[in-house]
Amino acid sequence: MRIAVEHLTQYRFSEPQSRLVQMLRLTPSDTIDQTVLSWRIDIDCDVRLRDTVDGFGNKVTMLYAEGPIADIAIVVAGQVLTTESNGVVRGSHEPLPEGLFLRETPRTASDEALTAFARDTFGSGRDTLDRLHRWNAALAARFPGAPDLPDAGLSAAQAFAAPTPSSRDLAHIYIAGARALALPARYVSGYRQHNGGESAPHGWAEAWVDRLGWVGFDPSAGISPDESYVRVAIGLDAPGAASIAGSRLGQGREEMAVDLHVDRLGGDA
Amino acid sequence: MGTGHAFDEIWGHGGPESPRPEFAALSQWVADTPQAELHKRQQSAEATFRQLGITFAVYGDSDASERIIPFDIVPRVFLHEEWMRLSEGLVQRVEAINAFLEDVYGERRILKEGIVPPELILNNPQFRPEVAGIRPPHGIWAHICGIDLVRTGPDEFWVLEDNARTPSGVSYMLENREAMIRLCPELFRSFRVAAVDSYSDMLRETMRSVAPGARGGQPVCVVLTPGHFNSAYYEHSFLADTMGIELVEPADLIVDDDVVYMQTIAGRVRVDVIYRRIDDDFLDPLVFRPDSLLGVPGLIAAYRAGNVALINAPGNGIADDKAIYSYMPEIVKFYSGGEAKLPNVETWRCREPQALKYVLDHLDQLVVKLVDGSGGYGMLVGPTASKAEIEAFRGALIAEPHRYIAQPTLALSTVPTVTDTGLAPRHVDFRPFVLTGSDGVQVVPGGLTRVALKEGSLVVNSSQGGGTKDSFVLLPEGAPAQSQVQS
């Protein structure tokens, strides 16, 4: 599937800022099933951009801007060609071993209720892939239609107890449950093309299966990612894979607005 | 627990009447100087320390938030040959620490070959994936190491702990020496003592040697402090002063285009080397703790781009973690190809069920420590603990065995120390400082001797009533005497 992404992030400051430093994880990498055909990041003011990677192998762009800055728009536009792989991630650049993705972070902290639910759902079967699918389906059934919402900062345990967790929260719950059962799992941020329209970047989970490698699970949709998904960045949790981590020097408040279009193009390969 | 069986570094095993032959003169000096005079000099030294502000904060003590560390006037002395043997072991250990850090943040051969259990690294909060894949300028991670040693006999040294993050205490080494030169000049006439005041020069040269690339001219080096509220602020400003480099706070630094600059009245000055006395967590809010107000946004990007050297490298905590410590003999062997010249203290890893059983059965004989604790907190000294303390600790240990290691209580060496009832042996440990630059590894000829002032006590931590002594390293026979500068 040929997918076109247009992703605008706009920051407005109540008072002009004297400096901005941002770390952008907004550029997807090639895998066997994902080919980046074109990709660019445009900024609407004078900035210096530096391309690098982070410790997890994500492509990173550092943004440095001198003030006074009252607002800034970051526009990402590109096209990606994807093929169906049943959620299996093939040919990704993996600088860190899967064992790292067993560690708990504040955002993926579990509690007794969540761990007990995970233990019951996973059961004791020997087929890891089957157990991970079961976990995915169980979360999708328990929290149907989890929306893409701005980050509320909940831990996995808090989100599990909340009435309507977001897709990001659901991914954290997925990760927390898998790790509680000693299965490596991690967060993925990216895009998903679907007919309901998109309002924010999407988040899902990946878990490690011996002999297969990393396999994606999207508990907000109850499926493994198909060719309508574009992987951009991975991390131990959502903040670790954040599209934009920023720091500003200046007083006042900031407001962020996002405009996102993820479209399927004709002429599929 | 008595001190009777311990090896005294001046008196040997025999007591004041029969000192070790090499130390007869020192023993004589101690015996000849009236107690009142020793006390007077000691008080004079402490008054100076108080005036300088060499204080430290005691955690959990509301009465005295800042204290000075008591100073003992009787020095601890290393013979030249003893020091040479010790230095060889220290160099080997620090080289291994650097090789280990390069490996775990790079290829991870040591995990692939099964020398260290992978989960001990990968699941350890001290292993920072954020800096994985970075190769620091000149491939050096641990530029300044403090290796904590204890001694049990003339030639028996044991490593108690490695410090590869921001080992503190060097200002005590320097100030103690200055006090000794001022108060006991006669000692420097009878002993040929290696000077330690070259430390600032050594450190400055080490910093310059690891500057990235060749920009021409002198590299710009700075000391980065969290600020004057920090309990070690004296040391930060002292080091910047004596090295003749800027002391900066995070707000003084900015990163632009992956390059670090210091903001000065005259404009931006590019910075090449940062001796940072700020924990990893607070270095860069974009990479570590986002809620940190202290950090320098973009610093890790500049570091990853190879545009700045950070002393010591972020992520070093994995090398001095107490859980890793017990594998150090294997780690040294893996990278150096030979046996460790400086042995570890025997260590039981309570994460291993058999070790835990042994520890629980011998709590009254062992020292049990938190893997992630420091400063003598979260620690049980079995032989001096009450029954109730042992039982309370037993519960904590059973609840979370993976958080603890245990070691035998060693008969730590003693050095004669001034007490209210005259000279008496008191247990000591030792922290030498080892510098690694692009031109090699150097051991500073001296260090920080900590002394447990309470009779029989083995806890030398300053937060638990320990004091310090000057540490003399004697020059070889026939070597020209080094001038001891009194400033």
Q: What is the CATH number of the domain that holds A224?
A: 3.10.620.30
Check whether B484 has a pLDDT greater than 80: no
Span A62-86, pLDDT tens digits = 999 998 999 999 999 999 999 999 9
Same domain, A109 and A167: yes
Q: Is residue B402 part of a domain?
A: yes
> In the predicted model, what is the mean pLDDT of residues B259-269?
95
Check whether B183 has a pLDDT greater than 90: yes
* A239: contact with B, CB 8 A cutoff: yes
How many domains are there within chain A?
2
Same domain, A95 and A178: yes
What percent of chain A clears pLDDT 90, i.e. is strictly above it? 90
pLDDT at B483: 61
* A182: contact with B, CB 8 A cutoff: no
Question: Can you give the CATH number for the domain in which A23 is found?
Answer: 2.60.40.2250
Longest dimension (CA), chain B: 69
Span B380-396, pLDDT tens digits = 888 888 999 999 999 99
CA dihedral A37, A41, A42, A48 (to 10 degrees): -140
- Burial code of B351-376, b = ≥16 C-beta within 10 A, e = fewer? beeebbeebbeebeebbbbbbeeeeb
Same domain, A107 and A212: yes
Same domain, A97 and A225: yes
Task: Please indicate whether residue B461 or residue B139 has the higher confidence score (pLDDT).
Answer: B139
CB contact under 8 A, B108 and A50: no
pTM equals 0.92
Check whether A198 has a pLDDT greater than 80: no
* A62: contact with B, CB 8 A cutoff: yes
Q: Is residue B444 part of a domain?
A: no
Check whether A101 has a pLDDT greater than 80: yes
What percent of chain A clears pLDDT 70, i.e. is strictly above it? 98
CB contact under 8 A, A99 and B287: no
Q: Which residues of A touch B298 (CB under 8 A)?
A: 21, 23, 62, 64, 247
Q: Is residue B310 part of a domain?
A: no
CB contact under 8 A, B301 and A60: yes
Task: Please indicate whether residue A205 or residue B64 has the higher confidence score (pLDDT).
Answer: A205
Contact B337, B168 (CB under 8 A): no
Question: B253, B256, B263: best mutation site toward chain A, by most A Cβ within 10 Å?
Answer: B256
Nearest to B286 among A48, A99, A245 (CB): A245
The residue range of the domain holding B400 is 348-409
Residue B146 binned pLDDT confidence (cut-offs 50, 70, 90)? very high
How many domains are there within chain B?
1
Q: Is residue B142 part of a domain?
A: no
Angle between helices A128-142 and A167-180 (to 10 degrees): 140
Check whether B3 has a pLDDT greater than 80: no
Judging by beta carbons within 10 Å of its beta carbon (0-12, 13-18, 19+), is residue A230 exposed, middle or buried? buried
Q: Is residue B473 part of a domain?
A: no
Q: Which residues of B touch A50 (CB under 8 A)?
A: 257-258, 301, 305
CB contact under 8 A, A64 and B255: yes
> In the predicted model, what is the mean pLDDT of residues A179-191?
97
Whole-angstrom Cα distance, residue A80 to residue A90? 16
Residue B13 binned pLDDT confidence (cut-offs 50, 70, 90)? confident
Task: Please indicate whether residue B335 or residue B51 has the higher confidence score (pLDDT).
Answer: B335
Residue B215 binned pLDDT confidence (cut-offs 50, 70, 90)? low
Q: Which residues of A touch B304 (CB under 8 A)?
A: 52-53
At B386 the three-state DSSP class reads coil
Same domain, A201 and A101: yes
CB contact under 8 A, A64 and B298: yes
Check whether B151 has a pLDDT greater than 50: yes
Q: Which residues of A touch B260 (CB under 8 A)?
A: none
* DSSP H/E element including B77: strand B71-78
Question: Can you give the CATH number for the domain in which B386 is found?
Answer: 3.30.1490.270
Q: Is residue B145 part of a domain?
A: no
At B65 the three-state DSSP class reads coil
Q: Which residues of B touch A59 (CB under 8 A)?
A: none
Task: Please indicate whether residue A2 or residue B68 has the higher confidence score (pLDDT).
Answer: A2
Question: B104, B120, B122: best mutation site toward chain A, by most A Cβ within 10 Å?
Answer: B122
Same domain, A171 and A233: yes
> In the predicted model, what is the mean pLDDT of residues B257-272?
95
pLDDT at A267: 58
> In the predicted model, what is the mean pLDDT of residues B406-410?
90
Q: Is residue B379 part of a domain?
A: yes
Q: Which two tokens stand for residue B322?
A: 């107490």
Q: Count Cβ–Cβ pairs < 8 Å, chain A vs chain B.
A: 75
Q: Which residues of B touch A239 (CB under 8 A)?
A: 290
pLDDT at B58: 45
Check whether A146 has a pLDDT greater than 90: no
Check whether A61 has a pLDDT greater than 60: yes
Shortest alpha-carbon distance between residue A134 and chain B (Å): 26
Contact B45, B75 (CB under 8 A): no
Same domain, A38 and A169: no
CB contact under 8 A, A48 and B125: no
* A236: contact with B, CB 8 A cutoff: yes
User: For residue A36, what are the contacts with CB-CB under 8 A and spacing of at least 6?
Assistant: A27, A28, A29, A30, A78, A79, A80
What percent of chain B clears pLDDT 90, i.e. is strictly above it? 67
Inter-CA distances, A100 with A234, B124, B384, Å: 13, 9, 40
The residue range of the domain holding A138 is 84-241
CA B483 to chain centre: 26
**CA angle (A89 as vertex; A85, A90 as ends), nearest 5:** 90
Q: Is residue B323 part of a domain?
A: no
Residue B60 binned pLDDT confidence (cut-offs 50, 70, 90)? very low
* A153: contact with B, CB 8 A cutoff: no
